[in-house]
Structures are given as C-alpha cells and as structure tokens.
Amino acid sequence: LCQSNSLQMIAAQRGIEEPRCHFDFLMGFTYGATQTPGGLGFFPGTDPEVGFVVAAPYLGLNRRFYVSDDGELYLCALRAYLSQGYPVRVGLDMSTLYDLEEALPHSIVLVGYDQDGFTYYETVCLPEVPCEPGQRPAGDQGLYVSDEKLLDAVQSQAEVFEYPWQYSLSIFEQAPLADDLGPVWRRNGQALVGGAKYGPRQGADVVDNLAVAIEKRGQKLDVSRIRPGLEMAAYVRWENALYLRKAFPGEPDLEQACCLFMSASSSYQSVLEALQDDISNQIMAQQMAVLLHSAAAAERDAGKLLLQRSE
C-alpha cells in the first residue's frame, strides 16, 4: 500500500492528518480489482497514477506529473522542487533500489538532497528493506539513495510498465478544495462492478475469471501467482468496510455495502485457508471457485450501491 502511504505523507506536510484508508478511498486504490499482466493473479485495487489525480482536489491539491528521458535534467528537477519545499513522490522499482531479485513497483517520497543523492521516506518497510515501522520519529531525515541508484530504480520501473519515458516525478500544488464526492463514489463503484468493454478485465470480472480458471485447471495452477492478491483482498475488503462505517455512520446503503465487503473478505479468507501450498484435488478446486464467485458477486453488489450513491 505504498501508493496511498505516499499521498498520506504528502498531505501530512500540508497539515492534513487522516488514516491511510481515507486516501485509499479518495484514490480508489483498494477498490475493485486489476488483473496482473500475463497471468491470473490480481491486485485488489485501481491504477494509483489515476488515483492521485482523482484524490488531490479533495485535499486542496493539484497533482502535477513530469517526465523526461534526460537523467541530468531529471535530477536537477528533483532538487529544484525539493528546494522549494515540495515533497516529491517518485515511482520506482523496489528490487533495483534495494538489490532484491524480482521487480516490484514501488512509491517513495523524496524529502531532501545533497550533491550526491537524496533522502527519502520509505512507505512500507518490507522485511528486505533497511527500516522498520515506527523505528524513526516523524520528521526524521529518512533514508538515503545516491543519484545513480535512484536513476536506475526509476528507469527500471519505466521498463517494467513499458512507459514511453524513462524518468517521472509527481508534485502536489495548492488548489481549490473539492467537496462533492460524487466522482469518487462513481469511480470506486465502477472499479468494483467491472464490466470493461475494452482492454483487460476489471473489478468483479477479474475474480470471476480466476474462479473459472481454478475450476478448469485445478492442480495445474501455480498458486504462488494468485496468493498475494487473495491475501491482500481479504485484508483490504475488511478494511474498506471499517473505514466506510466510521467515516459515514448511519447510512443504510453504505452499511449494506460494508456487509458485502465483509462477506467478500470472508470468502477470500476461506479460499486462503483451503489453499495451503497447492490445490490438491478437483473437489477442492470447485469449492474454491464457488467461494470466489461469491466474493465477486458481493463486490459487484457493493459497487452498484456506490454507483447509486454517486447519482
């Protein structure tokens, strides 16, 4: 959840202190599902780059996104914005940043610099990362990365996603505050419902597709490709429900949506408990498929409720 953590940090510099779930909601970051390219795995959420644009006005901000193929120009731009007091959000490959094995899309916040590199705030602190949650006090200097390592990590992510540029950065400028949540309800609802006419599957369609694949392929399926998405889905659906109940108490339609989120979370958790290390037989595969279809139906119904609210 490094993306919404990044926005939470940037908002905090502006005096806006809210739980991470608030930024997940505004970004739509943990609503719906996006299929992993080239596989059956999925991420339970939406494109964070679009999410930053959507969320920014509700924080009194406007998101600016800059790209370049010139490494020296990019480094100069980073230092220029930091010198003006902007925290700079950078998307990069965590594996390159920390010398890990597999590419992992990541988001950090640059907060300072010297002549050879930058200081930054790490946003997730995975076991392989040289920090621990709560280890450093708020406002501390942060971690350090050299110019060369930063350029390599940013360029590596551009290659993974096949961007038409090598380097990118985001800053957030002050802007009028938006208060009409209609666009947020609409985007989050559509993300859950899915039904994309063009392009890859989205939302509940992704989960239904995984259920069909498990039922058809059973023991031949590589569970290592689907487990991370299932684990995150079980967690964030539960968290989505808790946030909506606290942020919008006494709303019957949202309470119904929360119950549906909890139901989906329970279905994902049951699949994980049955999954263990592999799919041992066809009966097990069929049971898992039923649970996933149930989760998809719950998410689709929850999305319809959010869409109705947007109208």
Model pLDDT for residues 232-250, shown as the tens digit of each residue: 999 999 999 999 999 999 9
Main-chain phi, psi angles of 122, to 5 degrees: -75, 140
Q: Tell me the angle at which helices 147-160 and 71-83 cross, rounded to the nearest 10 degrees.
A: 110
**62-90 residues labelled b (16+ CB within 10 A) or e (exposed):** ebeebebeebeebbebbbebbeeebbbbb
Residue 91 has pLDDT above 70, yes or no: yes
- In degrees, to the nearest 5, what angle opens at C-alpha 134 toward C-alphas 123 and 30? 40
Report yes or no: 190 and 310 within 8 Å, Cβ to Cβ: no
The pTM assigned to this predicted structure is 0.92
| Parallel/antiparallel/unpaired status of strands 61-68 and 143-146 | unpaired
Mention every residue, 6+ apart, whose C-beta is less than 8 A from residue 84: none
Q: Model confidence over 164-210: pLDDT tens digits?
A: 999 999 999 999 999 999 999 999 999 999 987 666 788 999 999 99
Model pLDDT, residue 222: 74
Model pLDDT, residue 97: 95
Region 291-297: what's the mean pLDDT?
96
Nearest partner of 237 among 14, 13, 42, 39, judged by Cα? 42
Poorest-pLDDT segment among 5-19, 78-92, 206-220 = 206-220
Mean pLDDT of the chain: 92
Residue 39 has pLDDT above 90, yes or no: no
Report yes or no: 51 and 143 within 8 Å, Cβ to Cβ: no
Report yes or no: 28 and 128 within 8 Å, Cβ to Cβ: no
C-alpha–C-alpha distance, residues 210 and 295, integer Å: 11
Residue 138 has pLDDT above 80, yes or no: no
Nearest partner of 155 among 91, 82, 80, judged by Cα? 91
Report yes or no: 120 and 136 within 8 Å, Cβ to Cβ: no
- Residue 76: pLDDT band (50, 70, 90) is very high
> 111 to each of 13, 86, 89, 140, 178, how far by Cα in Å?
11, 8, 9, 10, 27
Model pLDDT, residue 38: 65
Residue 103 burial (CB < 10 Å; 0-12/13-18/19+)? middle
